[in-house]
Amino acid sequence: MLLEEFNWKREVLESEEPVLVDFWAPWCPPCRTMNPVVQSLARDFKVCKVNVDKNQELAAHYGVSSIPVFIILKRGQVVAHHLGVTLETTLRSELEQLQRQ
């Protein structure tokens, strides 16, 4: 499930399943590079995209100062954090492990 417009509290903070949050911007080349990876992961996991230009307060809350940033949350807690281009296998492995917990 790929969410671009969503209720942060309901879809992320209250989610029982792990959620991959992609902090991105349309003008960011590495963010565009990661789009196929994010879409692939969204076929199997809950993924929320947060445009940092439109959600500056949320990005600041999570300490996002450069992008892309990938944060995995489970039950509202940050359990993983990746800055920059990240291998799909890395993110997939972490999400699979968290789903089993």
pLDDT digits (tens, 9 = 90+) for 41-78: 999 999 999 999 999 999 999 999 999 999 999 999 99
Measured between alpha carbons, how far is residue 80 from residues 27, 29, 53, 54 in Å?
25, 23, 23, 23
Residue 20's closest CA among 82, 64, 67? 82
pTM: 0.92
Which pLDDT value is given to residue 10? 87
Q: What's the CA gap between 3 and 34, in Å, rounded? A: 16
Domain ranges of the chain: 2-100
The CATH class that applies to domain 2-100 reads alpha beta
Q: Tell me: pLDDT of 9 over 90.
A: no
pLDDT at 12 over 70: yes
Query: Considering only CA atoms, which of 30, 8, 17 is closest in space to residue 95?
Result: 17
The Cα 53–Cα 27 span in angstroms is 10
Per-residue model confidence (pLDDT) at position 96? 97
- Positions marked active-site: 28, 31
pLDDT of 3 strictly over 70: no
